[in-house]
Structure 1
């Protein structure tokens, strides 16, 4: 027997946390009866679980790494019919992105149908490093770089210390390339950090997620994660 929210998450419907919301709001039925208790346990092999009117089938977990192009939505659908990240991965499984990259940001994004895995990687207490390459206006001074390294106050609080390196500057064009590594996931965080020191972002790419990188992929291409990579990510999250 397993907790109902875990069974829903493992079926690839949503994360475990969101599954709890579906249960408490009365959208989940087990063997024809509405269930709103979070502690409810079910037998995934024999009990019929229906979420929002749709019976769930336990799917094999799948894990993908996508090189997200810019001008693509980090979602499974879009009300304005814009391109979404799942358009790039042909699969019968109901996958969704782990976290998000802004519409204008390109780079490494993970997708899965494993809600437990997604929840683990997105939980703020697990400090998984993410490295971004930003093209910015101007040439950041060392004292401003140090502010980012120490942590800088934004409207939603102070950021954790970051690793920051200015790798290239172009005096003629008045632009620089900045490499920045963070482990948080505040909304548009890297853009806001760089704007806060007076260097608006012109272009942004997530180059690395933990030990994963984009080498060998072009924008719009994807690959499946290898079993040892999934295992390593799980281990990394809980250490």
Structure 2
């Protein structure tokens, strides 16, 4: 790999910035100053430092975001801010994207990465990846609704795969419910439409988990962090290079 490509992957700056850093003799390869952008290095064996700080090359990066309402789960949008607007320069430089989508008013767990193979595996219908949501409902969900979810709710354009509906709390006076819903698909507005098919309405929706990843209770809305080594290890179940 060329040295300038390595430095660019590490997010140290633009091509112009990298040329300036090299000319300023701030970059070393295995302890020796290197000024040539074309210098060939082994990113797995050579030690590259910038101004005395060792740089670690990463092909793929992974971020866990507690998505707030009001943002689009996309890399760009003409009318609304996107989840990428929350990220720092390094994450955007790595060209991460959301794995799956949450509606603009839905909040909770969202994985962002630049690993396309992992995203494809996690979203593939063949993998049957569980997605768990907690929802506040206008109306009282019943055991009959749970049975309907388990049998597969028929919507106008498709029939949902069997899903799990657990009733966590009901308030007859307020005519409200709190439920946990587990689905294996992720079609447009699916959870809201399934609840609507039962004659009720979702008034708040939060994603708690996706596959092995759980929403971090220490992340406030809008905050994000890198995946932990344990979380990364849990993604090995999808059988793609991480």
Q: Please report the TM-score for the alignment, with normalisation by the length of structure 2.
A: 0.70
Cα RMSD over matched residues?
2.0
Does structure 1 conserve the Cα–Cα contact (< 8 Å) formed by 2:146 and 2:164? no
| Map of 2:67 onto structure 1 | 68
CA distance in 2, matches of 1:183, 1:227: 25
1:163–1:181 CA contact under 8 A, matched in 2: yes
Distance 1:211 1:119 in 2: 16
Q: Which residue of 2 aligns with 1:8?
A: none
Aligned residue in 1 for 2:232: 230
The question of whether the paired residues in 1 share the 8 Å contact of 2:122 and 2:238 is answered with no
**SS of alignment partner, residue 191 of structure 1:** helix
Residue 94 of structure 2: SS of its match in structure 1? coil
Contact 2:68–2:222 under 8 Å retained in 1: yes
Following superposition, the deviation at residue 83 of structure 1 comes to 1.7
Answering whether residue 78 of structure 2 is matched by residue 79 of structure 1, we say: yes
Contact 1:132 1:208 in 2 (8 A): yes
Return the alpha-carbon distance in structure 2 between the equivalents of residues 156 and 64 of structure 1. 34
What are the residue-to-residue correspondences of 1:4-15 with 2, within 5 Å? none
Alignment: residue pair count: 182
Paired with 1:127 and 1:226, the residues of 2 have a C-alpha distance of 24
Quote the offset at 1:66 in angstroms: 0.4
Contact 1:130-1:181 within 8 A present in 2 as well: yes
Query: What are the ranges of 5 or more consecutive residues in structure 2 without an aligned counterpart?
Result: 1-8, 10-39, 41-56
* Structure with the greater alpha carbon radius of gyration: 2
The structural deviation recorded for 1:74 is 0.3
* Residues 172 and 84 of structure 1, relative CA distance in 2, 3 Å threshold: same
Q: Contact 1:133 / 1:180 at 8 angstroms: preserved in 2?
A: yes
3-state DSSP of counterpart to 1:109: strand
Aligned to 2:218: 216
Alignment deviations for residues 202-237 of structure 1 (CA, whole Å, 9 cap, x no partner): 111101112322221111011111244233223157
Contact map agreement 1:138 1:175 (CA 8 A) in 2 = yes
Rounded to whole Å, the distance in 2 between the matches of 1:62 and 1:159 is: 33
